Amino acid sequence: MTKEATSLEIKHRKKALQALAELGRKIVEDIRNAQPPKLKIPSRSTSNIIYDRKNRYFVLGPRYGIRSAGSMKQIKKVAQLLCTADFARELIESGKFATLREMYYTAEGWEVGPFHDQGESDAIIEDLEATFGLKRESLGLTPEEDGAAVFGQIVFREGDVTIDATKAGRGGYTIPPTIDDVEFVKCRAKRIIAVETMGMYHRLIQEEAWKKFDALIVGLKGQAARATRRFLKRANEELGLPVYLNCDGDPFGYHIGMVIISGSANLAYINHELAVPDAKYIGVTASDIINYKLPTDKLRELDIVRLKQLLKDPRYNTEFWQYEIKKMLEIGRKAEQQAFAKYGLAYVVNDYLPAKLKEVEGKEFLGKG
């Protein structure tokens, strides 16, 4: 789409190409030394996933696996990994992107033979990500889905196109899988309010919460896509914007927030690019259910099991979370963000959010409309 690579794109491509070249050099060196090429790949097994208390997210431990072209059992995997690395090089050099699914089908044309299923090709890509400490997006490989919607006073540049996120339509600016290549040109917002549902996203836009709170409104569409998490991290680090997460008051809402804050275990190898440990949960809590007399639903069996898991999860090992999880188990009820509509459509913007923002920023917002 974009003819000329931006400086940001060039920087990313260079880093990825260096990592790929390093891999190639290592292979060539082994061959020159008359050794079967060997690859040292960080282990992604559960026992090597560690919660890093200092950084406050999951990381990989020190364990590695060796994959050797000298082993009959491993040689196909080594060859597939090198073909995948070569495909990534082609993508990066041509400035193109392929989905994981396209990658899987591309392998149908390889001499080394196709993958049995996409699970196999995805695992090889994760091997490369873990080895390089680079996201697959940096290797030209993107997930299928776009990221969240963003509305508010920020201007993006993608290639030679400049996009004002207040002028991209009611639907907002869509975070592309290639968010790392997007430049933040200008931002007048002072914070980010990310909401779980698109219903709440449209409510906040309609009630002009983005103006009232000087905020970028981000519509997560449920569990946040990688691109969304990367956007939040970049906005937090590069623009210094605090990130607030407004989710449903149930274990799944809690966890949608937490995955943004502390990353997920199965992405431990790349959480350093995705986690936003300083993001704050301002979503519906068990206390809110009581204090606001919200319409609720009974916890299902699954909710109860999930809440009990969260109680033991190191990411929830804070006074706030332990209290709110236990309280929800005690009252046996959950509530959605949109339940505030009981008090009128504007209540969430005029009353609820100002109260929550005051809690986290200690500052009065002129919410009352």
Sign of CA dihedral 331, 334, 339, 340: positive
Residue that has been written with the tokens 């919460």 in this structure? 209
Residues 184-223, mask of contacts with a second copy (x by CB under 8 A): -------------xxx--xx-xx-x---------------
Q: What angle do CA 74, 273, 245 make, to 5 degrees?
A: 130
Contact between 292 and a second copy by CB under 8 A: the answer reads no
Packing angle of the helix pair 75-94, 118-132 (nearest 10 deg): 70
Residues in contact with a second copy, counted by CB under 8 A, come to a total of: 56
> Which of 75, 123, 341, 355 is close enough to bind a second copy by CB under 8 A?
341
Q: Least Å distance between CB 297 and a second copy?
A: 9
Q: Output 61 or 114, the one with its CB closest to a second copy.
A: 114
DSSP 349: I
Packing angle of the helix pair 251-262, 301-312 (nearest 10 deg): 30
In sequence order, the 6+-apart residues with CB closer than 8 A to the CB of 131 are 23, 39, 40, 41, 42
User: Can you read off the two tokens belonging to residue 104?
Assistant: 């899987």
Contact between 171 and a second copy by CB under 8 A: the answer reads yes
Beta bridge partners of 183: 157
Residues 236-275, mask of contacts with a second copy (x by CB under 8 A): ----------------------------------------
Q: Output 203 or 315, the one with its CB closest to a second copy.
A: 203
> Which of 6, 55, 68, 106 is close enough to bind a second copy by CB under 8 A?
106
User: Can you read off the two tokens belonging to residue 231?
Assistant: 């956007």
Q: Are 351 and 367 in contact (CB under 8 A)?
A: yes
Helix (H) or strand (E) holding 194: strand 191-195
Q: Output 59 or 149, the one with its CB closest to a second copy.
A: 149
Residue 194 phi/psi, 5-degree rounding, is: -100, 130
> Which of 30, 102, 122, 313 is close enough to bind a second copy by CB under 8 A?
102
CA distance 337 to 268: 30
Helix (H) or strand (E) holding 52: strand 49-52
> Which of 128, 175, 224, 349 is close enough to bind a second copy by CB under 8 A?
175
Segment lying near a second copy (by CB under 8 A), choices 105-113, 124-132, 185-193, 302-310? 105-113
Residue in 57, 64, 104, 105 annotated catalytic: 105
Q: Would residue 105 show up in a list of annotated catalytic residues for this protein?
A: yes
CA distance 259 to 265: 9
Contact between 342 and a second copy by CB under 8 A: the answer reads yes
Binding to a second copy in span 35-54, by CB under 8 A: none
Ramachandran bin of 159, using left for φ above 0, alpha for ψ from -120 to 50, beta for the remaining angles? left
Q: Least Å distance between CB 315 and a second copy?
A: 28
Positions marked catalytic: 105
Residues that bind a second copy (CB under 8 A): 1, 96-99, 101-103, 105-106, 108-109, 114, 142, 144-147, 149, 156, 158, 161-163, 166-178, 182, 197-199, 202-203, 205-206, 208, 295, 336, 338-345
